[in-house]
Every structure is written in structure tokens, then in C-alpha cells.
């Protein structure tokens, strides 16, 4: 089988999920490439080397430019902080590499647009790791919706609730905490959490026409790990918005890191004329489905345990009744990318699809600062 | 409308649920009788009088014999402790009164048999307050089963878990605690809690052929409220049994007052070839229903919120989505009794039906003491 | 005991819940008045008479003016459609009667203000039937919040989802359907459902400072039952808004009758620094409580079954583990009103409290039409 | 790091879970050995070769004897059908190999005893793959119990419900279906499913003293895949038993493949004087915990989402809120075995521990056939 040499940039949380995806995909999926963990690249050379040993990368690098230029590399996978995405992705595309990038694509739509231009000019296969599309339950929701079972859509609601930044003692910036540093992250929960909600929402329910948003930074200053000083916090701690989709349905979206009791509660619900769907990340192996066409007396929300062979991706795993977990979503995405790439194609969500999400998050932040309903600049990528 | 003069014997927990049923039934159901709260009867004359005032009984009595003989009374409703059931019921039947009796019918099958003989000889309308049959969700389960939707039945399981007697400081005997006094109650959880499980089970799934049981008294002696002395505890604190139904299905039954965390968790489940049903008392307004004939990908347990007009009894209450509670089961039972009685009939479960339950509890207790599988002496009443 | 002669105006859904509350309150609560169902008043004399018979009202009337002027009446309870509230309440207050009114108080804040002025000028005891405050689980939430256990509040979210108007065949107007007729109802889900959410929210979390809203009428015209013609629909089918509370917390609110699968799903959640609370009407006897101060390893959302004697109101009902239902909230409210009225006081929510809710719903509707963030005109009544 | 050469016998469902465990353990745990997938062994040489390619085994073999004798192999891991366990394990032990064996250890206690004797005589590290002990939620339950938080134990209940053999068209025997062939499997659900329940139960709650059981074979004959003929079914389709533990607590156990609607629903509950625990495999990442010492008003079952760093094993995985799945239990077990083996020790459950489970399943089957309460022959291994 043809080998695909992969360089992963970044060994943090996402460096691990991506590495695991490449390590595992061939054990469970018949993919047209054999992924080879060629190079891990990260600024800290010592830790990169240790990561290489643990995951079986053949080499460790500390300068991503050398990686991007290396003729040994077929695919550059970007798992480093948000402020590095654009520069690396554009250079990798120019070097003719396939490019995968962790979400959000850019810190804003302008960065994302430049990245789209680069991969489309270069004609290289690309994909953004909005992994929650590949939760089997969410993929099943997509199938059900695409089959038209819901009928006309009236409502969509999504939220992503966490509680890990409530303590005032938590510093900002530096390894593990760059998500609190606006210069690195671009925004707070809007780009980190709402971006997931928006990507899934547009995939399931089409483009978002306009938004009215409010954001808040509950803790105004925190010690910065890089400077050692207490500095203003630039990110949004919470971000909520109302939306009207292009299909006329109404929506609420909310993300926060101040919802005590919720660790990573991403929930979505869609209500149609005939049927409704609910899903939440805390029980990701279940889909709640209500079909009004069921007989009246015995009609109810069905709790579907997504572990059967006829559920998306599940025939590749264990036996009926046995659940998979979080990291499997990345394995599924790697499988889909490798399959597409072997035919010279990108896999969804492509850079262009992900640009559409950045356009919505830009509109959300603009609406929050102007206190006005704000139209979303559409790149027509959202519904791909 | 014709009036029905009622005498209620006992003002305890069950005296209240029955009184409430008679007070409320006419507000929600078109019943052929107007129930009149004629007399409350209890040993403590002062408290009986106060109870009469609170509930609108026209008189209070302290001697049940006078009540039973009174020509003003049409219906004697027995809500007093178990050791009084047989004597009162037999006397009332002989006096030609309609008789309703709180469960269990007798302290054992022999007592129950005498009571059956009395009402059947006298030809008076009768009923036993196994109220859980009238939970709308349970009644819907009955309908679904009777329609044959489950196919061949393989399994039944029921449990009734409480935790209110774990403390060693709790005394036995006397008002409010007679359920711990074997002389009054007849048995412990077997007659108090398992009897409910058995009544529902035989109604839903037919007769029980044989049982293998184990019982335990975890706290061996308690202060007796009537004697003031520490005395041996004669009741069973926990009672578990395996059973084979006449239809070949297998079952587990369990009742205990030592299941920390459960207040009154009566659950039942029945598994058939094609469909299964689960219900629990802690969320009595829901029925869980699984139908294997649903499409595979979207098949799951349906959580049916039993608050629609096409659910049993629910058209009499509020609007869709609004739940009823515990005491409504007694109101439903009163409505069904009044309807039947107006035609000279008894309502299920009749004394004969309830005798069948006592025959099973007798077999359970016998099996526990002999450590042998024990056949149930059948009175053919269970499946009525 | 002193008698309180009650006239109930309206025999619809709310006429039944109120009548039941007065019929039952004395059976379960020691109240200082004996409520007497004196007169039922409704336009249709025949049906009023039948209703009187069923509920035990001593008389039936078809002209509310005669009722209000009658010296036999102590308390006028308004359970008729929204467009009648103001006129009746003002007349009753002027006649010196105690006044209870079904929610929303007025069709808008102007009507409500006039009603407040009337009862306050007359100095009569008053109350509005925002019954969900008296769900024991919600009352417990209030206690927990008032004890300061949640710490600083970051988030509030509430929704009220139904699905009963999705069919285009459903007409508007006339008995049972006046809630779809804007002239009678004043608004759609904003006044009907959101009003409940807002009343509870301000009671639990203080005043709402400003809102940004969107509303939609999905079905633009329906046959009108009174004219027989297809006419434009004037009500809002769905109403969503973002809010900032006076305490700085952020909120989403949503109500709709187009959420397939939800019958009357009113949910509320509040997230504080230290603890969070969630409740939903479909399982009204449970409260979800998360306390971050619990030990880390075993910390989780607690599903509290609100059926213990130390839970609000529950010592008046049955025994531990046995749930109550929807109508009990009205009984609790009647008990609290009678207790207050005997001391010459009003019970919360008073007319003034309910005016505050109308001020928020006015702001919501204004925001939706102007597409602007809108400040709430405060009457300082919300947090009472 | 020292390498450990592994030979896996069997490429079925369990061959995959074990191979995955060895492939993944080093990515997430710091283990003292580097596991090397040396040889896969299975009767079908072609499929063994394909399996080797997919999982990275260095060689494929079709004769397990050659594997056991090979000096290249350090560890023999048995994942083949039950009838092969004893012969391979005994030979491997005699050859001085470490031995891991899929559960149940033997088809009966006699086989298991011989296997225990072999590994103990040889002094080789050993372990049986009762993987559910390593579910983080179950491991947390163990910690809580061992800390004495539950107090005196009153009740234990476990069930393992499936529904995959209800169809009469399902054949017995041959690849994928040997679990229906009594000659290969030894028994039906007793050894397959109840064995899991019993292993966990004795680990959590100590030894089982005596049992009363009932079994049933609902479908009496099925086509046999190896002979092509319809043959009697020798396995038990359902197996239920009552038990008394050595600590005096009472239990119900049940396993079946005829519980429509349940795929692999393994549930366990333990009730103590002070606290209770519930867990189920269909939501394996949650633990239900009730602590009576919590304040009364806010006391309830806590749904603990077992995804925090202070939960067993979870610091090795992702971030708070993100769940793992079924196969991770094997990875945990591999990590624990490698750690123990590096010190020359076995990991629990050892062969001796697993013998105790076979002694209980033997007693269950004997009780079912004799219809008598049956004492468990104790090897003192259960509580290890």
C-alpha cells in the first residue's frame, strides 16, 4: 500500500488526537494510504523528541519551515496554536503539500480567506478538524436530515458549556493556557467552542443569515504566564447569539466557560415539522430522536444507542452495545480524508467550509461590539 | 344523581388517599353515583372527629361494628391496618354492603379466602386498592400487552426499593409503624411491597407457577412502641424471589426497605419477542417502550410522557404535557369502581384477584423458610 | 372557621385549576379561611350551570358585573381570557373585593399598570397565578439561591417549548383557541409562555436590564373560528431573546409552539460560581443540583426527587417517594394566598410583581419589531 | 526500554481488543515494557496473515504449539474460543511463558483449576481479561467501597441483558457463533455474561456463599453451522440466580440474550447503610452515586461524569468532559499487567481469581439442574 508521510506540527492536546488518529486508522478502516508518522515538529526540541518516541514518529523537528520544505513530507497537519495556522498552512500549500488544520481555521475570516486562497491556488487536498461531524450520532443526524424526515425546519439550538476558567487564580497565556490569550487564540469561546457549534449547525441546517450577539468577559484581568504580570483579559468568556438561518429557522447559540457543572457539554437540537433530533457530547454515543409519525399513544423521544453495525462508522468497531469515545471522531476524519486524498480530493469540512464558520464568528463578535443585528458575509461554503 | 353513602374505616395514610379519591372523583369523571363521605371510623374518637372536619365527613365513629350495621351506609371502605381487614370485610359483606379493602387483602391466603367467600356469598360489589394498576402509564402497558405487541414473553422483572427502616433507632409497632409489627402486618415487605409487584405482574403477564425465595431481617430487634420493650422483629426486611410464570417466562422480584437512595422505587420491566416495556414509580408519568419493529438505525427506547388525551384516564385531567401524581391512581380506581358498582359488578382487582396475590406471597414466604422451589396454589384469579 | 366566598370568572382550563385549588386546599393545608365556591360566572349560562354542578358552586352567573357587585362575594378570581382581565379586575378592586388573576396580568404593561393602580388604590389583597413558583422543586431552588449557595451568578437560561400549533389546519379564535387570536390574547407565546419564564427568572435572579429579541409567525394565516374566514395570524408563534440581568448575568430565553416533540417543556437553569440548578416541567418533581464544593471524585449533578417532608410543601402530601403533579401548584398558591389574605396582605406574585413581567414582555416585543437592544422599564416589582 | 514479545492466539472479537490494547498502551501509559506484536496465531492461515498485516504483527502462525514453544515469545495471550483455553494455557505455562487468557478461564472449574495449577507451578505472571474491572467508573466504585463509605452492605444486584439470539433463524456453532455451541463455550450466558457480573461482584463485595438458580433455553434446536443439521441447543439462553454473599448481603443476578431492547446492558448496584452505587455499561463513562450523608433537602443520586483527571486512569486520556469507550478497558488492563509483570507479579484478576468465578458459575448451573440452594466451593480467590 502507498505510504503517506505525515508531519504533525504541535504536540499538545490536538497533537495527540491527530497522532492517535493516524496511528489507529489503519487498524479499523481499509484506507488507500498507509499513514506514516514521519515528523513531529514543535518549538521545544526536547519535548518533541520525547513525543516522537512515545508515538513512533521517525524524527522530531523544532522549525516548521524545514518540515514544510522537506521532500519527505506528503501531508502537513497543523495542531499548533491558532496564531500559527495561517503562516504554516500557506507555506505548506505553496510547497505542494496536502494540508490538514486544527479548527478554527484562522483567528478571523481574513486569515481564513488567505488560507483558502493558498490551498485552492495550489490545488492541494485539505481539511479542517471539526471533529464533531464524525461522531456517529451526529453523522446519523445528518443522514436523517438529508433524507428529509424532519420536514420544514423551525428551530435550531446549540450550546457548548464548560466551567474550567471560573477561578480567578487561573493565569492566561503559555503552554496549555494559550486559549485565554487573545493574541494567540484570536477570540475566546467564540472561536474555541461556538465555532464547533456553528460548523455543525451549518452542515446540518444550511447557512446562517444574520445574528444578534452578546459577549462578556467575567474576569477582567489575569496574570499572564509569559510576562509574569497581571494583564487585561482580551478574550470573551461567554458568547451568546440569536440567529436566523437562510431557511427561515430561528436559533439560539451559547458558549461559555462559566457554566458550573458542565465540563464539555456541547448540545444541539433541531426541530422540524415532522421530527426532532437532540444530541449532547457528554453522552456522545446516544442520539435522541422524536418522530411525530409514530403512533400517538406510544410516541416519545427515542434514546438511540449508536452502537449498531448500521450506524455510521460503527461497523468498523466492536459489537452492538459497546460504545466508542471522543478520539474516535478524529480516526473517522482521518479515514475520510485519506480516502478522499487518494482521489485527489479534499474532505469536508474543507478550508472553504471552515472559512464560512469564521465568517459567522466574525459576525458574532461584530454584533456583540456594535449591539446590532449583523448579516453574515457568505462564502457559500457552509452547507457543503 | 344517586348518592352512595361511604364509611371509611381508618384515617391513616390510606384513609387520606381513599377520602381524597371520593372527594375528587366527581370533579373529573362522570360517575353514576355521587359519593357521599358519610362516616369516618377510627379508634381514636377525637382524631376521627378532626379528620371528619377536614375532609367533610358527616359523622365520626369509633366502633366499626356500628358502622357496618348502619342502614345509612352503602359502601364500607377499609383503610385500617392489615389485622382488621378480614373481620370488618366479612361483617360488612354479611350486612350486604359493598366492600372496598386496602391491600393486601388478608395477612395470608387463608384470611383472604374467607373474605372472598364472604363477598361472593353475599354477592356484593368489591374491590382491593392495588392502586398502581391505575397509573396511566401502567394501564397503557396493559393495553399494549393485551394487543399482543410484545409477542412471546421471555422475561419479567420487578422491584420495590425503599430505605426508610435502615436506622436501628426506629421502633416497631403503633400508629404509623404497624407495618414493622408482624402481628398486625402479617409480613414485612412481602405483603407490603412485593404484593404490589405481584398484583401488577399477574395482571400483565398471567399466573405465577412457582417461586424460589430468600428473605432477611437485617435488624433483629427493635423497641416496640406498644410494650415499650425491645422485642424481636418478626417481619422480613427484604424479600427476593425467582419465578416462572405459567406462560414460561422467567422473573426476578425483589423488595426491601434497605436500599439506600431509593424512596419508593417500584420498577417493572417485561421483555417480549418484539417489544419491551419499562416503568418506574419515581417517574410514574413516563413509560419506556422499545419496539424492535421500528427502523433499525433510529430504533431506541421511547420515553413516552403519559400526558396526552389518548393515554388512559388522561383526557380527564389537564392539557398535554402536564403530569399528574400519586393520588390520582386512587381517583381512577374510585371512578372504575363506581361505574362497575352501578351495574352491580365488582371492579378489578376484586377480592378474588387479590387472593391470588396472597397465594403468591404465601408461597414466597414458604419457599424462603423451606429453601425449596414452591408451587403457587392457584385460585385462577390472577389474570382477571 | 371564617368562610371566604369566592366567585370564579371563567370555566376553561384555568377555571378548572382554580376551582380545584379552592376545593382541595383545606384537605391538605391548615388555612385560616374556609373557601366557599359561591359563584361560577361565564358567558354561556348552560355550561356555567353544568360546571357549577360538577364543582359544587352554589350558583352560576353569566354577567360578571353582577358578580363583582354582589355583597355575597369576598374574592373575585379571574380565569377568563386575557382581554377581560383588566376590566374585571379594576371593577372588582373598586368594589373592594380581593382579586386573583390568571397570568399574564394584562395584555400589555399599560393594562397591567391600570390594574396595579386599582388594587393598590383600593388596598385589596391580590395575587397573580404564576403557578410555577409553587412547584416544590422550584421553591427549593429559590431557597437555595436565597441562601447564597450559588455565589455570583453568571448565566440563566429558560425555554418553554410546545408543538401543538404546527398543523396549518388548526383554526384561530373562539373557545379553547383564543390564545391564537391576538386581539384576545395580546400576544402569542411571549405573553403565554415566556411570561412564565420571566416571572420565575426575575424571582430567582432579580431584574432584567435589557433584551434583544426575535419573533416569528410561521403560519401567516388561519381560519378564524368567530368569523369563519381565513385571516392573518397576529400572534408570535416563537419568541427568543438574549438578556442581561441587573446582576450582570447573561441569559437566553425562548418560547415556541413549533418545537416538535415537546408538549410543555419549561426548563430553567442557573449557573453560579459555586453551584448550578436545573429544572424542567416535564419531570416537575425533580430538581437537578450541582455543587462544586462536593468532593471532586464523586461530584456530579444530583437528581433530587422532591418528595421528602423537608421539601417545600411536601409535608402536606403523601409519603416520601410519591410524587405530586401539575395542579398542586395551584393548591399551594391558594394556601399561600389565604394565609396572607387573612392578615390583610397580598401574596406573591402580586399584581405589581406581575406588572414587571409585562414590562419585560413589552420590551421583548418592541425589541423584536425594532431589531434593537431594548431596556426594560422597571417597576421594581420583579424581585419581590 | 525492554521489549516484550507477544503472541496472540485468535483473531476474533477478542483478538482485536487485545491487539489494540498492546498497540495503544504505550501511547498513553508509561509502561516498563515495550509490547511487541510478534506473532498472531489462528487456524485459518490466510486470515491470520491478513490480520498480521492490519495490526502490524511480525508473523502469522496456524499452529499454537509452535508459538508456545518459540523462544522468541515472552507472553502468550489467549483470545481463542473457550474450549482451547486450558490446553494452550497449560502448555504455555509449562514453557515458562507469561500467560494472559480471555474469560471465562475454563469451561468449568475443573479446567480452571488445572490452569491455576499450571501457572502457579511454573511461577509465571498471569491475568484473565475480565475487562470491566478497568472501566474507570467501576474502578472508582471499588475505591469508594474500599474506603468504607457505603458502610454495612445490604444488597447487590447485577444483570447483563442482550437480545441478539431471539431469532429462531440464527444458527449455532462455527466462527462468530461458537458462543451458542455448548461443546465449545461450556455454557451459554452463565459463562459468557454472568461470569463478568460475578467477577466484578466478588471483587467489590467479597465471596458468594450460596446460590439458587434457574436457567432456560428458549429455542430448543438450531441449525448447526459445522454439521449443517438442526441440532439441540445445549447452552442456557437465560440464567438467573439469588445469592447470599459471605458478608450477609442478598443479591439477584440475571443474564439473558432474550431481553428485547438491550444490546449489552450490564448493570450493577450495591446498597450500603450509608451510600449506594449504580453503574451500567451502556453509559460506561458515568457512575451514579448516592450518599445519605449529604444534606437532606439537596440529597439525590449524583450522575458523575467520569472524565476528570482525578478519576481512575483518566489522567492518561484527553481533557475533562471527553469520554472514552469500551476498548480502553483492555488498554488499562494491559498497562496494569505490564507494570506487574515487570516486577515478576501477576495482575488481578489472576487465574486464581478467575477460578473463583468459575466455581460460582458451576454452582449456578448445578443449582439450576438440581433446583436446590447450592453452596459455592471457595478457592479464596474471589476477594483478591
User: What is d(CA D42, CA B188) in angstroms, rounded to the nearest whole number?
Assistant: 58
CB A352, CB A109: distance < 8 Å? no
Confidence band, pLDDT 50/70/90 cuts, at residue B1 = confident
A235: left (phi over 0), alpha (psi -120 to 50) or beta: beta
Tell me the average pLDDT across D62-74. 97
SS percent in chain D: helix, strand, coil, step 5: 35, 25, 35
The pLDDT score that the predictor gives to residue D383 is 39
CA of C263 vs chain B CAs: smallest distance (Å): 5
Place of cell 373557545: C175
What is the arithmetic mean of pLDDT over B11-21? 97
Beta bridge partners of A5: A36
Q: Looking at beta carbons, which residues of chain B come within 8 Å of C302?
A: none
Tell me the three state secondary structure of residue B49. Answer: helix
Q: pLDDT band for B5, please (50, 70, 90 cuts).
A: very high
Residue-averaged pLDDT of chain D? 96
Nearest beta carbon to residue D140 from set C287, C297, C305: C297
> Per-residue pLDDT for D384 more than 70?
no
All three cell numbers of C364: 421583548
Close Cβ partners of B269 (under 8 Å, ≥ 6 residues apart):
B155, B156, B157, B158, B276, B277, B278, B279
The pLDDT tens digits of the residues spanning D107-146 come to 999 999 999 999 999 999 999 999 999 999 999 999 999 9
Q: Which of C162, C283, C308 shows the shortest C-beta gap to B283? A: C283
Q: Residue A201: what pLDDT?
A: 98
Identify the residue whose cell numbers are 471457595. D378
For B293-351, what is each residue's pLDDT tens digit? Answer: 999 999 999 999 999 999 999 999 999 999 999 999 999 999 999 999 999 999 999 99
Pick A20's closest partner by Cβ from D27, D55, D307.
D27
Tell me the mean pLDDT in the region B120-124. Answer: 98
- pLDDT of B382 over the 90 cut: no
User: Other C-beta atoms within 10 Å of A320: how many?
Assistant: 16
CB C143 within 8 A of CB C168: no
Whole-angstrom CA distances from A78 to A70, A91, C158 are: 15, 12, 39
Over residues D328-335, mean pLDDT? 98
Mean pLDDT of D168-175: 92
Residues of D in contact with A284 (CB under 8 A): 323
Inter-chain CB pairs, A–D, below 8 Å: 96
Q: Which residues of D345-372 are buried (b: 16+ CB within 10 A; e: fewer)?
A: ebbbbbbbbbbbbbbbbbbbbebbeeeb
Q: B284-305, pLDDT tens digit by residue? A: 999 999 999 999 999 999 999 9
CA–CA gap between residue D251 and residue B363 (Å, rounded): 20
User: For A250, which of C161, C240, C271 is closest by C-beta distance?
Assistant: C240
DSSP state of C367: H
List chain C residues with CB under 8 Å of D292.
none
> What do you get for the CA distance between the two ends of chain C, in Å?
30
H or E element, residue A98? strand A98-101
Residues of C in Cβ contact (< 8 Å) with D296: 308, 310
Kindly give, in sequence order, each residue whose CB lies less than 8 Å from that of residue D10, ignoring residues fewer than 6 positions away: D41, D42, D78, D79, D80, D81, D84, D102
Residue A306 Cα, gap to closest chain C Cα (Å): 20
Residues from chain C contacting residue D143 (CB–CB below 8 Å): 297
CA-to-CA distance for B6 and B8, rounded, in angstroms? 6
Residue B381: the pLDDT is 44
Longest dimension (CA), chain A: 66
Sequence-separated (6 or more) residues with CB below 8 Å from residue B228: none
- Let me know: does A314 contact A307? Beta carbons within 8 Å: yes
Q: pLDDT, tens digit, for every residue of C287-343? A: 999 999 999 999 999 999 999 999 999 999 999 999 999 999 999 999 999 999 999
- The helix, strand and coil proportions of chain A, stated in percent and rounded to the nearest 5, come to 35, 25, 35
Residue B115: how many CB atoms within 10 A of its CB? 30
Grid cell 455565589 is found at C151
pLDDT means per 10 residues, chain A with 384 residues, are 96 97 98 98 95 98 96 98 98 98 98 98 98 98 98 98 97 92 96 98 98 98 95 97 98 98 98 98 98 98 98 98 98 98 98 98 98 87 40
Is there a cis peptide before residue D104, judged by omega within 30 degrees of 0? yes
**Which value does ipTM take for this structure?**
0.96
Closest by alpha carbon to A349, among A195, A137, A209? A195
| D286-304 burial: b if 16+ Cβ within 10 Å, else e | bbbbbbbebeebbbbbbbb
- Rounded (to 5) percent helix, strand, coil in chain B: 35, 25, 35
Q: Is omega for the bond preceding C309 within 30 degrees of 0, making it cis?
A: no
Per-residue model confidence (pLDDT) at position C378 = 78
For residues B141 and B279, the answer to whether their CB atoms sit within 8 Å is yes
Burial B144-153 (b: 16+ CB within 10 A, else e): bbeeebbeeb
Measured over the CA atoms of residue D50, residue D51, residue D55 and residue D57, the dihedral's sign is negative
Question: Is the bond preceding residue B68 a cis peptide, omega within 30 degrees?
Answer: no
Q: Which of C23, C264, C310 to mutate to test the interface with B (most CBs of B within 10 A)?
A: C264
Give how far the C-alpha of residue D347 lies from the chain's centroid of Cα atoms, to the nearest Å: 14
Neighbours of D32 (CB within 10 A): 13
Which residue out of A302, A310, A312, A313 would a mutagenesis test of the B interface target, given it has the greatest number of B Cβ atoms within 10 Å? A302
Contacts with A288 from chain D: Cβ below 8 Å: none
**pLDDT tens per residue across all 384 residues of chain C:** 899 999 999 999 999 999 999 999 999 999 999 999 999 999 999 999 999 999 999 999 999 999 999 999 999 999 999 999 999 999 999 999 999 999 999 999 999 999 999 999 999 999 999 999 999 999 999 999 999 999 999 999 999 999 999 999 999 998 889 999 999 999 999 999 999 999 999 999 999 999 999 999 999 999 999 999 999 999 999 999 999 999 999 999 999 999 999 999 999 999 999 999 999 999 999 999 999 999 999 999 999 999 999 999 999 999 999 999 999 999 999 999 999 999 999 999 999 999 999 999 999 999 999 999 999 987 654 433
Q: Which three cell numbers stand for residue D113?
A: 483449576
Under 8 Å CB-to-CB from A205, ≥6 apart: which residues? A145, A153, A156, A245, A247, A249, A270
DSSP one-letter code for C3: E
Instruction: Please report the sign of the dihedral spanned by the C-alpha atoms of residue B64, residue B68, residue B72, residue B73.
Output: positive
How many whole angstroms separate alpha carbon B59 and alpha carbon B146? 44
Q: Name which of C255, C249, B257, C84 is nearest A256 in CA terms.
A: C249
CB C260 to CB A275 under 8 A? yes
Residue B175's pLDDT is what?
A: 82
Number of alpha carbons in the 13 Å side-chain half-sphere of residue B321 = 16
Residue C152's Cβ-side half-sphere holds a number of Cα atoms within 13 Å equal to 11
Q: What is the pLDDT of residues D311-326, one digit of tens each?
A: 999 999 999 999 999 9
Report d(CA B29, CA B24) in Å as an integer: 9
Cα D354 to Cα D377: distance, rounded to the nearest angstrom: 13
Q: Which segments within chain A are labelled E, that is strand?
A: 2-9, 33-41, 59-61, 75-78, 98-101, 126-128, 153-161, 208-216, 221-223, 230-232, 238-245, 250-256, 265-272, 275-280, 286-291, 301-305, 374-375
Given this model, what pLDDT does residue B377 score?
86
Residue D378 has pLDDT above 90, yes or no: no
Q: What are phi and psi of B167, to 5 degrees?
A: -70, 135
Q: Which of A282, A285, A328 sits opposite D305 (nearest CB)?
A: A282
Which of the four pLDDT bands, split at 50, 70 and 90, describes residue D176?
confident
Instruction: Give the angle B108-B110-B114 at the CA atoms, nearest 5°.
Output: 120
- Which of D97, D168, D149 has its CA nearest to residue D126? D97
Contact yes or no for D259 and B241 at CB 8 A: no
Contact B128, B349 (CB under 8 A): yes
Q: Under a CB-based contact definition with an 8 Å cutoff, are residues D169 and D222 in contact?
A: no
Which pLDDT value is given to residue C174? 87
CA–CA distance, A376 with C90 (Å, rounded to integer): 49
Amino acid at each position: 500500500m502507498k505510504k503517506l508521510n505525515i508531519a504533525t506540527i504541535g504536540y499538545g492536546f490536538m497533537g495527540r488526537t491527530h497522532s492517535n488518529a493516524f496511528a489507529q486508522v489503519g487498524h479499523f478502516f481499509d484506507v488507500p494510504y498507509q499513514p506514516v508518522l514521519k515528523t513531529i515538529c514543535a518549538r521545544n526540541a526536547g519535548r518533541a523528541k520525547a513525543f516522537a518516541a512515545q508515538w513512533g514518529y521517525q524524527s522530531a523537528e523544532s522549525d516548521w519551515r524545514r518540515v514544510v520544505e522537506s521532500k519527505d513530507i506528503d501531508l502537513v497537519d497543523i495542531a499548533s496554536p491558532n496564531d500559527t495556522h495561517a503562516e504554516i498552512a500557506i507555506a505548506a500549500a505553496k510547497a505542494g503539500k496536502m494540508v490538514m488544520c486544527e479548527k478554527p481555521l484562522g483567528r478571523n475570516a481574513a486569515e481564513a480567506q488567505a488560507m483558502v486562497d493558498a490551498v485552492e491556488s495550489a490545488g492541494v487536498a485539505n481539511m479542517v478538524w471539526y471533529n464533531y461531524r464524525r461522531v456517529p450520532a451526529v453523522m446519523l443526524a445528518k443522514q436523517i436530515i438529508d433524507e428529509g424526515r424532519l420536514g420544514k425546519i423551525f428551530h435550531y439550538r446549540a450550546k457548548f458549556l464548560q466551567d474550567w476558567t471560573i477561578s480567578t487564580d487561573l493565569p492566561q497565556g503559555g503552554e496549555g493556557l494559550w486559549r485565554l490569550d487573545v493574541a494567540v487564540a484570536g477570540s475566546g469561546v467564540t472561536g474555541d467552542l461556538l465555532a464547533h457549534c456553528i460548523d455543525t449547525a451549518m452542515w446540518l441546517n444550511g447557512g446562517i443569515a444574520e445574528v444578534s450577539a452578546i459577549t462578556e468577559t467575567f474576569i477582567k484581568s489575569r496574570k499572564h504566564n509569559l510576562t509574569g504580570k497581571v494583564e487585561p483579559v482580551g478574550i470573551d468568556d461567554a458568547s451568546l447569539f440569536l440567529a436566523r438561518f437562510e431557511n427561515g429557522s430561528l436559533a439560539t447559540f451559547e458558549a461559555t466557560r462559566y457554566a458550573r457543572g458542565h465540563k464539555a457539554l456541547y448540545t444541539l437540537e433541531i426541530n422540524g415539522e415532522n421530527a426532532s433530533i437532540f444530541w449532547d457530547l457528554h453522552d456522545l454515543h446516544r442520539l435522541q430522536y422524536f418522530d411525530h409519525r409514530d403512533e400517538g399513544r406510544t410516541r416519545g423521544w427515542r434514546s438511540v444507542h449508536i452502537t449498531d453495525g448500521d450506524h455510521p462508522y460503527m461497523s468498523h468497531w466492536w459489537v452492538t452495545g459497546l460504545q466508542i469515545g471522543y478520539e474516535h471522531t478524529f480516526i473517522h476524519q482521518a479515514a475520510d480524508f485519506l480516502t478522499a486524498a487518494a482521489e485527489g480530493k479534499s474532505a469536508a469540512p474543507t478550508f472553504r467550509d471552515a472559512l464560512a464558520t469564521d465568517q459567522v464568528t466574525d459576525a458574532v463578535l461584530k454584533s456583540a461590539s456594535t449591539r446590532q443585528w449583523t448579516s453574515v458575509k457568505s462564502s457559500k461554503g457552509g452547507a457543503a
